[in-house]
């Protein structure tokens, strides 16, 4: 009887362990960004590098906006659709100043890359994507804009600090959100 009880306890322990592992895998699978989202996140700093190279001999980013980037063929690593810049998700990209990608003014030492029309899941994944240290050096802040407002995240802050946490992003991201990376 005792032997039968030990065998049963071991089998029960194995079943519970397998269930826990399965649940962990399912949670990981559903919370990880898909391949297109990962490619889209990587495009942020590819775009930033292209912009910086185009402005390397200029004192600032004066005049930089989406139209200028397109007309100067500045971004060869980005897709074009209907004469618009689109990311790997097929969503519009704006470049310049602010969420509308307005032309940078004289003396502008930073520029914004704006990914628009994002779903809630895309917004969370892009805002929380952990870029490598070298790319983060030029990142000044990330702003999430949704129908309910916006929130800036910056380095060294007590609240709303970079990197953006999933919890913070989920509070702000809604369907049709924008994520804005402000870079120098």
Residues with Cβ within 8 Å of 15's Cβ and at least 6 positions away in sequence, in order, are: none
**Domain 34-183 carries which CATH code?**
3.30.1690.10
What's the confidence (pLDDT) of residue 22?
Answer: 58
Q: Does residue 13 have a pLDDT over 70?
A: no
Question: What are the extents of the domains in the chain?
Answer: 1-32, 34-183
Residues with Cβ within 8 Å of 146's Cβ and at least 6 positions away in sequence, in order, are: 123, 172, 173, 174, 176, 177, 178
**pLDDT band per the 50, 70, 90 thresholds, residue 2:** low
Q: Which two tokens stand for residue 122?
A: 């895309």
Average pLDDT over residues 98-114: 97
Q: Does residue 179 have a pLDDT over 80?
A: yes
Q: Does residue 117 have a pLDDT over 80?
A: yes
**pLDDT band per the 50, 70, 90 thresholds, residue 113:** very high
Which of helix, strand or coil describes residue 24?
A: helix
Q: Does the N-terminal peptide bond of residue 163 adopt cis geometry, omega within 30 degrees of 0? A: yes
Average pLDDT over residues 93-105: 97
What's the confidence (pLDDT) of residue 61?
Answer: 97
Residues with Cβ within 8 Å of 114's Cβ and at least 6 positions away in sequence, in order, are: 93, 94, 95, 98, 99, 100, 101, 178, 179, 180
**Distance between the two ends of the chain, CA-based, in angstroms?**
73
Q: Is pTM, for the whole model, over 0.85? A: no
pLDDT tens digit string along 71-88?
A: 888 887 677 778 789 999
Length of the chain: 184
Strand partners, 115: 93, 179
Most confidently predicted of 92-96, 131-135, 157-161: 92-96
Q: What is the pLDDT of the chain when averaged over all its residues? A: 86
pLDDT, greater one: 138 or 179? 179
Classify residue 111 by burial, with Cβ atoms within 10 Å: 0-12, 13-18, 19+.
Answer: buried
CA-wise closest residue to 180 among 84, 92, 114: 114
Q: 181: how many CB neighbours lie within 10 A of its CB?
A: 23
What's the confidence (pLDDT) of residue 87?
Answer: 93
């Amino acid at each position: 009887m005792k032997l039968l009880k030990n065998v049963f306890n071991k089998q029960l322990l194995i079943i519970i362990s397998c269930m826990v592992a399965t649940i962990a895998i399912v949670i990981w699978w559903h919370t990880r960004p898909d391949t297109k989202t990962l490619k889209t996140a990587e495009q942020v700093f590819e775009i930033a590098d292209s912009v910086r190279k185009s402005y390397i001999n200029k004192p600032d980013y004066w005049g930089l906006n989406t139209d200028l980037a397109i007309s100067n063929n500045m971004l060869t690593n980005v897709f074009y659709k209907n004469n618009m810049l689109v990311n790997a998700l097929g969503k519009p990209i704006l470049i310049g100043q602010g969420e509308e990608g307005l032309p940078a003014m004289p003396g502008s030492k930073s520029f914004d890359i704006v990914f628009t029309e994002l779903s809630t899941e895309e917004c969370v994944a892009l805002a929380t994507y952990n870029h490598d240290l070298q790319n983060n050096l030029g990142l000044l802040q990330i702003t999430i804009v949704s129908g309910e407002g916006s929130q800036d995240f910056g380095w060294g802050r007590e609240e709303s600090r970079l990197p953006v946490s999933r919890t913070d992003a989920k509070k702000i991201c809604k369907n049709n959100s924008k994520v804005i990376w402000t870079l120098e």
